Amino acid sequence: MTNPARDYWRSLEELADSPDFAAVVEREVPRFRDVLDKFDRRQFLTLMAASMALAGLSGCGPEPNPQQRLPYVEAPPGVVPGRQRYYATAHTRDGYAEGVLLAHEMARPIKVEGNPDHPASLGAAGAITQASILSLYNPRRAQTVVGPGQISSWEGFVAALYRRREQLLKKRGEGLRLLTGTITSPSLGAQIAALQTAFPAMRWHQWEPLHRDNELAADQMAYGRPVARVFDLAAADVIFAVDSDLISAAPGWLAYARQFAARRRPDETGGKMSRVYAIESTPTLIGAKADHRLPMRPVEVAASVRFLAGAVGAGPSQWTEIQSPHRDWLKEAAADLTANKGHALVHAGREQSIEIHLLVELINAALGAHGNTVRLIEPPVVSPTLHLQSLSELVGDMQAGKVDTLLILDTNPAYSAPADIPFAAALKRVPFSVSLSLFADESALLATWQVPAKHEYEAWGDARAFDGTATIQQPQVRPLYGGHAPSEVLAVLQGNTQPDDLTLVRQFWQRQQGAGSAAEGNPQSLAGDAGGGQTGPQSSGSSQPALAAAEAFEAFWHEALRRGVVANTAAPPLTLTPKAGLAEGLRPLPLGGEAAIDLLFRPDEGLWDGRHAENPWLLELARTFTRLTWDNAALIAPATAKKHGVKTGDVVAIATRYGATKAPVFVLPGQAPDTATLWLGWGRQAGALAEGVGFDAYRLRGAAEPWLARATRFEKTGETYRLATTQGHDRVAGRDLIREFTLDRFNNDPEYVKQKSKDVSLYPGYIYPDRAWAMAIDLNSCIGCQACTIACQAENNVPTVGKDMVHFGRIMHWLRIDRYYSGSPDDPDVAFEPMPCMHCENAPCEVVCPVHATVHDHEGLNLMVYNRCVGTRFCSNNCPYKVRRFNFYDFAAATERPPESWNPDVSVRGRGVMEKCTYCIQRIKVKEIEAERDGRKLRDGEVVTACQQSCPTQAIVFGDRNDSHSHVARRKATPLDYVLLDDLNTRPRTSYAAIVHNPNPAIGKEQS
Amino acid sequence: MSLPGELPADEPIVAPAVTMSSLSFEVSSRVLRPGAPRWWWIGFGFSFALFILLVIQLAWLFIFGIGVWGVNIPVAWGFAISEYVWWIALASGGTIISALFHITRQPWRAATNRIAETMLLSAIPCAGLMPIMHLGRQGLFYWLFPYSSVMGVWPQVRSPLWWDFICLFCYILMSIMYYYTGLLSDLATVRDLARSRFKQIFYGVLALGWRGSSREWRNHKIVYAIMSAIMAPMVISVHSVVGLDFAGGLTTGWHDTQFPPYFFFGAVISGTAVIVMLTIIVRWGYRLQDVITQYHLNAMAKVVLVGSLLLAYAYLWEAFGSIYSSDIAEYTEYMHRMFGFTAAGFWAEKALVVIIPQLLWLPAVRRNQTMLFLISGGIIVGMWIERYVFTTASLEHNYMPSYWGLFYPTFWDWAALAGTIGLFLTMFFVLIRLVPIVSMAEVRDIIEKKKRGEA
Amino acid sequence: MAIFGPSANLLTKAVLLAGTGLFLILLLMVWVVPVMGYNSQERYAPQQPVPFSHKHHVSGLGLDCRYCHDKVEVSSNAGMPPTETCMTCHSQVWTRADVLAPVRQSLAQGVNLRWTSVYVLPDYVFFDHSIHIAKGVGCTDCHGPIGDMALTWKATTLYMSWCLDCHRNPAPHLRPRDQVFNPHWVPGPNTPSGAELMKAYDIHPERLTDCGTCHR
């Protein structure tokens, strides 16, 4: 079978070889600008993807025919066929580590799961983190070193860089520049420091498109030094969120989400709940969960924060004299905060202005949050920098010709730089530039050297979490497509021509442990058993103390690898107080009231800053609020849409001082009026899957206003664009799908809360004497992060289908999250409802299948027997919950994914077969078999479904309903528990806990 | 009293001029004539072109999968199922005319039942093909047969689809036998009148050595009567079970106890309508005005009218049920059907099937073949729309608002429809070319009776 | 002149009769073909890189099954022995034997041996060796007289109905835990009855026939 991917790469390389390659790109660019043009490109690419059935196959050498069995020559220790083993490492987002465990089947990583021992994970893992397994296997990753004008090799590159080094040493590193993203890796930090001493004139620049400059600047003002914050939401009775990403994206969000949810379950906390206020310009997860939410334009947000500061005594009191419809609302909120001094918390999102960050800091100080709900710590980031400044300086020097050697490590400024910082153009003036990247991205294609990077799961490294805790990252698999780690590239500059990341990381930690060079060991053999992470310490060296030190280090090393956490590395707390008189020093707010559109730049939920743009799972993940897949859009409020006479799907021309583009409009209830939210990370110009998908919002983004830009043009073009969303209707349409109560009602009127379930039947229900598997989903806890959707997709081999199929209504996700609105479209209440299979005891799907392809088992599972299914699809018609998915085409075969990356415990479904959530039956069976083998009963919590495992807030609980002590039985016992469409008498096993709000009685609903 | 233009009570069923021998000769000559008339070639050519389209459609479907159609989740049943219902209704119509009215001793059935049965025979493969094409894994349809091979599992008898499969299977077998039995003596007649040796042998073999002895006639009459007695209730049950395919579901708009009779009404009207159309064509094409007279058309027109009234009742009941129902889902679904995405189809169907056919109250209209032809055509289209609307609309607005969706047919959906029509017409044209299109045996009876009446 | 002579009657009857017969035969095939050995490959011994004899190793030398299939008690997959396992002995005995050349080559060059599976289950069937052994199902219950096979041949049809026979009525196939790996086991006078073993192993046949037991 010919392999389009290979062809694709070859052509790209040929392209890259041609001297006038840059010119080619220039010529190409305008074509991408045209939104309509994306149509054909998309379809072409989808077709191509579809034609790439089993692309990965060609990657794995001579195929043994399925009849053959290839036993090991020497069996690796501890590998048991058909049983999964876990190895700890970390996945980084913006440089911050999230601890993960990778499930291995026959020494092949197949799934990413959270590491319970890691503070930033606590066992949960977000959608992006879990989807990273697909990037690891992605056959479209960069695979060849490309030098100036021709395909080269790693050795060729090392030689070139080494020669370069000689020259640089002569001029003390004059003209040598390093460009990285945010780095929390201690070893890398040390390496860079070492370089700095070797090349005094070298300069290190940082560029992270989703930088936290404003926070840093505010800290500089408040404390004169960078700090980092660790929040304690468990201690926070009142939370005030200002466009906050606290439980959706901030470093440590998984941990925060868990603390947050723990305070939102009145049935488990004795009728107590935290109260959440949110003011925001665009919907956020915490805003959706808030008891009081106000959508407001950025100017109003600023004014409101000032009001708050004034009201709680963190700023001049005249700030409280504002004319705002929300004045009373803010007054009450402020009163609530002051009333809960020491238990209150205010948080502003990364995108907010320096002033707001500063004021929030002052307010927290005034509320006595510091030391209680907020802990200031030494920042885990290596040398925090103002990224925008750093990048613009670099580009300035590049244009001035002061830069002759540029190393770009794992960042892609050619794509993500602000429109008024012409990095791409400047890069052409750098005689020797190197781009180390996972994909042949925009920067790589422009650099003189493109070097494939190792994926995080292929490399040795380390990284710190939001609280400073360090993790040593161990490779999970040999580099699949070649590739090298940043540390290796830097090592070459240090003069090491045979760099090896294991040695580099080990040596660093040996120094840390003060073990010196004694326990040099021999890295290679160690790579083996360290990879195994099991074998005991091995000795080497000669002298007695050295030996002891060596063994001590081995013990430390293996423990660190095994747990995925380096013990006691959390950053020490700082006790600082903000400088006085800062608030008074602030200039009065500009009166930005006129009705132009404010453009809000936000990271995309899936593609993030664009680095995950090649990941089909994330491209197809329906965005939380819009349920939009395979595209980004300009999100505007219904009122704004009316004003501009546009509706969802209309294409508007948007321009700022920095650039212009066209974008389809999406009308989003809850968006602030006269604002448009644009997701970054789309409209890539390099890459195969993501190329030209969506539009590139970076083009509108300027260095001066990275998060908020005033649109100079926002006009309907008359064109329309087809957006593929997954939700049919936004409201419950009279069905009893979402139950909501106030905390007051919950505490004082339990009878009302316990609404009679209507499933009465003349016939006796079936008796389940042994086990009765069931699931309880707590809608209070569900924050709509969609980690479960990706977890399910990864665990159950759920294929992606592409935009067109999604648009046809053929998306395959077994577990979807329904998002329902209630109330006015301008400021609706939002409810999230995860929808797996309900596993009805009276399953309507079962009776109508003519061939017994879907049946019940004796533990109450509604089984789906793929190999018996003939595809009448009657079961889907008859499923009131619409949780069944059908393989209209051979989606699995068309999914661009090497066979070795699929989960071997789950059948891969072929064409014409129905499928659905199975409660992860493969996990149930494995545990059952283990228990039966040991002749014992299954323990509660032993079987964990993929969705439950990944959920940051523990909203999903699974277990044996018959065991009254089981967690699920306790959840189902709460008065809040209810099942969907109970009047159909389907008797679902999946039940939900109703939503409870904790409104401030002083604030009327009409205000919030 | 009689309305103006009403056929006189003594309107002859068969034109007086027709005698035994002339009848045999007239009818057989249509079959035995060397070449086919031009109208036949045109009709056949057109049909065969469509039939080729069906073949292409099948190839495309089997190669790329069910995804080439517009079906999706939630609308997992699209054209294939609604057209299956539509075809089986047409077929049933044929049986109703030939079997039901044979039992009830309707004299006018005699000249039209062969057309009816020919239509039935041509419609049945179309009906049978639809559900098989509809499957996700078409090759495995035989898993619905109650045979236990090496798998050790059996079909599920609780599923309406399985009942339907069995009913359809029996119905197809029965229909073929019924048709052939009725045909025997006529084949013999043609054999006897045939001149060329080939035709003699061809029809001779088909006639199974029928001699026309009184013993043969007696047995034949008994067998045929028994078969009719079986067919009549069978056709009712078959179509009721088709109704249960839907009523057996939990889906909004389907879960309705009236479906079995409702579907049967549909069969009556659409079946008769298509027979009216074909009769008019054949009568004109083969110039059989003497044998197939105004009387027949008039009678069938009345049947159509009755069918339309029955359906009207069913529609009213359906509307009442949905709107009066306390079930919000039922209600919203019906509103969607009436005023939503499918509104156009909904009202068109009501007009074509219920309102326009009321013209048939007027004898003048019943007499006017063009009008009759157009009204019948309208009814058939209307019935197709009806099947399509209630199949998809119900699924579009299901219980789960988050999963409401719409159905857009693709080119291949239409190809399947056109293709099966091609198959139907091709078979029909071939059959009317090869077999006597009027049951001579039974018409002879009528002439005989008439004679005796005079004597 | 008559077209059909008197013989036509007979002919017709004959044809009708033959037709019916043919139809019945075809119908019969539906049942007959699958149970024919060539279809299920029952008793078929595929070509192997090394003509390994269980008879010699098990009955002759008395090796335990688990010496080579060492994961069988803990894994879903009995597993084929790695080359090094073969070489534990064959580095000492038969070191020059030509038949073992592939094995030596495998170890020397580090290339896997390629055995041909005798028992191939479809991908949608998830069979687990460990649980069957834990529940007292002997090797020979599925693998036939494996201990006496000079060349390994397929002892069963592996049809679903064959699986179900046992899953519907496990009792006759159970034996005491310590006899599971005995290739020549025959129930003795004081062997506990199947019913007793069922109780002892806590086996619930009704749950064994849940589709999810094998299909996931």
* Contact of B229 with B236, CB cutoff 8 Å: no
Residue A600: count of CB within 10 angstroms of its CB:
24
Per-residue confidence (pLDDT) for residue A324, from 0 to 100? 82
Q: In a structure prediction context, what are the per-residue pLDDT tens digits for chain B, which is 455 residues long? A: 455 566 666 676 777 777 777 888 878 888 888 888 888 999 999 999 999 999 999 999 999 999 999 999 999 999 999 999 999 999 988 888 888 888 877 777 777 888 888 999 999 999 999 999 999 999 999 898 887 778 888 899 999 999 999 999 999 999 999 999 988 988 988 888 888 888 888 998 888 888 889 999 999 989 998 998 998 889 889 989 999 989 988 888 888 888 999 999 999 899 999 999 999 988 888 888 878 888 888 888 988 999 999 999 999 998 998 888 888 888 999 999 999 899 999 999 999 999 999 999 988 888 888 999 999 999 999 999 999 998 999 999 999 999 999 999 999 999 999 999 999 999 999 998 888 888 888 888 778 777 776 54
Local structure of B451: helix, strand or coil: helix
Backbone angles phi, psi at A104, to 5 degrees: -115, 135
Q: Which residues in chain B touch residue C162, judged by CB atoms under 8 angstroms apart?
A: 150
Rounded CA-CA distance A496/A492 in Å is 5
| A787, two tokens | 């980690």
Per-residue confidence (pLDDT) for residue A591, from 0 to 100? 64
Comparing C-alpha atoms, which of A698, A699, A703 is closest to residue A390? Answer: A703
Q: How far is CA A692 from the centre of its chain?
A: 22
Q: List, for residues A628-668, the tens digit of each pLDDT value.
A: 999 999 999 999 999 999 999 999 999 999 999 999 999 99
Which of A809, A872, A981 shows the shortest C-beta gap to B399? A981
Which of B153, B201, B209 shows the shortest C-beta gap to C9? B209
Q: Which of residues 192-221 of B touch C (CB under 8 A)?
A: 197, 200-201, 204, 208-209
pLDDT bin (cut points 50, 70, 90) of residue A873 is very high
Which of B152, B200, B201 shows the shortest C-beta gap to C164? B152
Q: To which H or E segment does residue B185 belong?
A: helix B160-193
Mutation for B interface: A851, A884, A917, most B CBs within 10 A: A851
**Beta bridge mates, A432:** A405
Per-residue confidence (pLDDT) for residue A4, from 0 to 100? 35
Rounded CA-CA distance C102/B307 in Å is 81
Rounded CA-CA distance A715/B208 in Å is 81
- Determine whether the interchain pair A852/B156 forms a contact, defined as Cβ–Cβ distance below 8 Å: yes
Residue A310 has pLDDT above 50, yes or no: yes
Rounded CA-CA distance A154/A156 in Å is 5
CA–CA min distance B24, chain C (Å): 20
CA–CA min distance B156, chain A (Å): 5
| B290, two tokens | 């003497």
Comparing C-alpha atoms, which of A740, A728, A725, A730 is closest to residue A821? Answer: A730
Q: Which residues in chain A touch residue B135, judged by CB atoms under 8 angstroms apart?
A: 870-872, 912
| A972, two tokens | 């189902």
Which of B73, B138, B162 shows the shortest C-beta gap to A810? B73
- Residue A910 at interface with chain C, using a CB cutoff of 8 Å: no
Q: Which of residues 979-1008 of A touch B (CB under 8 A)?
A: 981, 984
Task: Return the higher-pLDDT residue of A18 and A777.
Answer: A777
Q: What is the DSSP letter of A573?
A: B
- Decide if the complex's ipTM is over 0.85: yes
Rounded CA-CA distance B393/B253 in Å is 8
Mutation for B interface: C29, C39, C160, C209, most B CBs within 10 A: C160
- Residue B56 at interface with chain C, using a CB cutoff of 8 Å: no
Q: Which residues in chain A touch residue C131, judged by CB atoms under 8 angstroms apart?
A: 929, 932-933
Q: List, for residues A380-395, the tens digit of each pLDDT value.
A: 999 999 999 999 999 9
Rounded CA-CA distance A884/B395 in Å is 13
pLDDT bin (cut points 50, 70, 90) of residue A17 is very low
Per-residue confidence (pLDDT) for residue A28, from 0 to 100? 38
User: Cα dist. B421→A585, B95, B214, B428 in Å?
Assistant: 83, 19, 41, 10
CA–CA min distance A604, chain B (Å): 23
Pick the residue from chain B with its C-alpha nearest to C8: B209
Residue type, A471: T
The stretches of A428-573 forming alpha helices (DSSP H) are 442-446, 486-493, 501-512, 523-532, 544-563
pLDDT bin (cut points 50, 70, 90) of residue A766 is confident
DSSP A226-244: --EEEE-GGG-SEEEEES-
- Residue A107 at interface with chain C, using a CB cutoff of 8 Å: no
User: Cα dist. B405→A816, A821, B341, B394 in Å?
Assistant: 16, 18, 10, 10
CA–CA min distance B153, chain C (Å): 8
| B63, two tokens | 């190669």
Mean pLDDT of A805-817: 93
* Contact of C59 with C183, CB cutoff 8 Å: yes
CA–CA min distance A619, chain B (Å): 20
Rounded CA-CA distance A984/A981 in Å is 6
Pick the residue from chain C with its C-alpha nearest to A917: C216
A180 contacts: CB under 8 Å, gap ≥ 6: A204, A205, A206, A207, A409, A410, A411, A486
- Determine whether the interchain pair A73/C107 forms a contact, defined as Cβ–Cβ distance below 8 Å: yes
* Contact of A807 with A888, CB cutoff 8 Å: no
Rounded CA-CA distance A622/A726 in Å is 7
What percentage of residues in chain A have a pLDDT greater than 70?
89
For chain C, how long is the longest CA-to-CA vector? 95
Backbone angles phi, psi at A569, to 5 degrees: -115, 5
Task: Return the higher-pLDDT residue of A57 and A448.
Answer: A448
| A458, two tokens | 């292929």
Instruction: Compute the CA torsion angle B384, B389, B394, B396 (nearest 10 deg).
Output: 120
- Determine whether the interchain pair B402/A876 forms a contact, defined as Cβ–Cβ distance below 8 Å: no
* Contact of A952 with A961, CB cutoff 8 Å: no
Local structure of B376: helix, strand or coil: helix
* Contact of A150 with A450, CB cutoff 8 Å: no
Rounded CA-CA distance C153/C43 in Å is 5
Pick the residue from chain C with its C-alpha nearest to A906: C216
Per-residue confidence (pLDDT) for residue B2, from 0 to 100? 53
Q: Which residues in chain B touch residue C156, judged by CB atoms under 8 angstroms apart?
A: none
Residue type, B282: V
Q: How many helices (H) and strands (E) does chain B have?
A: 16, 0
Q: What is the DSSP letter of A703?
A: S
Pairing, β A405-409 against β A176-180: parallel
User: Cα dist. B252→B256, B307, B321, B395, B399 in Å?
Assistant: 9, 26, 11, 7, 7
Rounded CA-CA distance B400/B252 in Å is 11
Per-residue confidence (pLDDT) for residue B446, from 0 to 100? 78
- Determine whether the interchain pair C3/B209 forms a contact, defined as Cβ–Cβ distance below 8 Å: no
- Determine whether the interchain pair A907/C135 forms a contact, defined as Cβ–Cβ distance below 8 Å: no
Which of A849, A871, A884 shows the shortest C-beta gap to B159? A849
**In B239-366, at which residue ranges do the beta strands (DSSP E only) sit?**
none
Mean pLDDT of A247-252: 91
Q: Which of residues 732-771 of A touch C (CB under 8 A)?
A: 770
Per-residue confidence (pLDDT) for residue A568, from 0 to 100? 87
Q: In a structure prediction context, what are the per-residue pLDDT tens digits for chain C, which is 216 residues long? A: 467 778 888 888 898 899 999 999 998 887 788 777 777 888 888 888 899 999 999 998 989 999 999 889 988 888 889 998 988 888 888 888 888 998 998 888 888 888 988 888 888 999 999 999 999 999 999 999 999 999 999 998 888 989 999 999 999 999 998 899 998 988 888 888 888 999 999 898 888 999 999 998
Comparing C-alpha atoms, which of A909, A899, A903 is closest to residue A867? Answer: A909
Q: Which residues in chain A touch residue C134, judged by CB atoms under 8 angstroms apart?
A: 932-933, 935
Rounded CA-CA distance A810/A819 in Å is 19
- Determine whether the interchain pair C160/B200 forms a contact, defined as Cβ–Cβ distance below 8 Å: no
Q: List, for residues A165-196, the tens digit of each pLDDT value.
A: 998 999 888 899 999 999 999 999 999 999 99
Q: Contacts for B31-39 with beta carbons within 8 Å, 24 or more apart?
A: B31/B190, B31/B433, B31/B434, B31/B435, B31/B436, B32/B190, B32/B193, B32/B194, B32/B195, B32/B199, B36/B433, B37/B285, B39/B285
- Determine whether the interchain pair A922/C126 forms a contact, defined as Cβ–Cβ distance below 8 Å: yes
Residue A46 has pLDDT above 60, yes or no: no
CA–CA min distance B290, chain C (Å): 33
pLDDT bin (cut points 50, 70, 90) of residue A231 is very high
Instruction: Compute the CA torsion angle B288, B293, B299, B301 (nearest 10 deg).
Output: 70
Residue A59 has pLDDT above 50, yes or no: no
Q: List, for residues A875-894, the tens digit of each pLDDT value.
A: 999 999 999 999 999 998 88
Mean pLDDT of A15-35: 36
Residues in chain C whose Cβ is within 8 Å of chain A: 46, 71, 74-77, 79-85, 106-107, 110-117, 120, 122-124, 126, 128, 130-131, 134-135, 202, 204, 206-207, 210-213, 215-216
Rounded CA-CA distance A842/A881 in Å is 13
Q: Which chains touch C (3 or more CB pairs under 8 A)?
A: A, B
A369 contacts: CB under 8 Å, gap ≥ 6: A342, A344, A345, A346
Pick the residue from chain A with its C-alpha nearest to C215: A865
Local structure of A992: helix, strand or coil: strand
Comparing C-alpha atoms, which of C126, C36, C134, C16 is closest to residue C76? Answer: C126
**Beta bridge mates, A921:** none
**Beta bridge mates, A990:** A775
* Contact of B259 with B244, CB cutoff 8 Å: yes
- Determine whether the interchain pair B204/C157 forms a contact, defined as Cβ–Cβ distance below 8 Å: no
Per-residue confidence (pLDDT) for residue B424, from 0 to 100? 94
Q: How confident is the prediction for chain A on average, in pLDDT?
A: 85
Q: Which chains touch A (3 or more CB pairs under 8 A)?
A: B, C
Per-residue confidence (pLDDT) for residue A64, from 0 to 100? 59
Sign of the CA dihedral with B220 first, then B223, B229, and B233 last = negative
Rounded CA-CA distance A655/A640 in Å is 17
A541 contacts: CB under 8 Å, gap ≥ 6: A518, A519, A520, A547, A550
| A561, two tokens | 């690898």
Q: How many helices (H) and strands (E) does chain A have?
A: 32, 40
Sign of the CA dihedral with A444 first, then A447, A448, and A449 last = negative
Mutation for B interface: C161, C165, C167, C213, most B CBs within 10 A: C161
pLDDT bin (cut points 50, 70, 90) of residue A595 is low
Q: List, for residues A717-758, the tens digit of each pLDDT value.
A: 999 999 999 988 889 888 889 998 889 888 888 777 776 565
Rounded CA-CA distance A15/A618 in Å is 28
Residue type, A176: L
- Determine whether the interchain pair B159/A873 forms a contact, defined as Cβ–Cβ distance below 8 Å: no
pLDDT bin (cut points 50, 70, 90) of residue A60 is very low
Q: Which of residues 847-876 of A touch C (CB under 8 A)?
A: 855, 857-859, 861, 863, 865-868
Rounded CA-CA distance A584/A249 in Å is 32
Rounded CA-CA distance B392/A153 in Å is 59
